[in-house]
């Protein structure tokens, strides 16, 4: 199965910088997502500062994969996001046909325009389809929120909920905290 993990950028301060607390939480989420899904082949992110910083933190957690800025992942209108999604799926089929996981870091209302789902800051969903060309086609894809995704991996709803809670209680090493801090500068 092909999986596209879509993240909304993290919380940011008055200077549009990702907050350190949020960056650390994103790192922990991504580290655990990697355990369930595997290492993504690439991350595609909006060039807007808060999204790009989010992408860099995720990249650190995912193990330093290729990271690409995509202007199209800025805020969209409904027509441009649909057009970009089609092009992206075609390009993914050409360039990543043998890979199973890709990541987007984008904004609202883009996710809502494409999927009809509104994500809060730092939230994520997983799209799953048999091939990249079908990842955005409603009749072929599945959409998972975090709890549902973990449940789809064989955990009961209760176990999945506890997993998500555990993720927030993890601690960072001093080296991880320092690296995350440096990524925000």
pLDDT number for residue 157: 93
pLDDT number for residue 40: 97
- Hey, where are the domains in the chain? 2-183
What is the mean pLDDT for each group of 10 consecutive residues in the chain (185 residues)? Answer: 96 92 95 92 96 97 95 76 90 96 93 88 95 94 94 93 89 95 92
Cβ atoms of residues 55 and 122 within 8 Å: no
Predicted structure pTM score: 0.94
Buried b vs exposed e over 54-63: b needs ≥16 C-beta within 10 Å?
bbbbbbbbbe
Give me the CATH code for the 2-183 domain, please.
3.40.50.1240
């Amino acid at each position: 199965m092909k999986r596209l993990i879509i993240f909304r950028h993290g919380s940011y301060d008055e200077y549009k910088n990702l907050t350190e607390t949020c960056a650390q939480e994103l790192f922990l989420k991504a580290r655990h997502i990697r355990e369930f899904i595997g290492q993504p082949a690439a991350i595609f992110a909006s060039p807007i500062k808060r999204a790009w910083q989010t992408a860099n933190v995720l990249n650190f957690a995912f193990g330093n994969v290729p990271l690409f800025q995509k202007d199209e992942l800025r805020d969209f209108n409904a027509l441009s996001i649909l057009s970009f999604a089609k092009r992206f799926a075609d390009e993914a089929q050409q360039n990543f046909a043998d890979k199973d996981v890709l990541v987007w870091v984008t904004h609202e209302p883009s996710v809502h325009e494409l999927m009809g789902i509104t994500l809060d800051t730092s939230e994520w969903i997983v799209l799953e389809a048999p091939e990249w060309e079908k990842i955005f086609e409603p009749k072929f894809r599945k959409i998972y929120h975090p709890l549902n995704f973990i449940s789809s991996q064989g955990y009961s709803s209760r176990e999945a909920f506890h997993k998500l809670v555990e993720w927030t209680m993890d601690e960072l090493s001093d080296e991880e905290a320092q690296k995350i801090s440096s990524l925000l500068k």
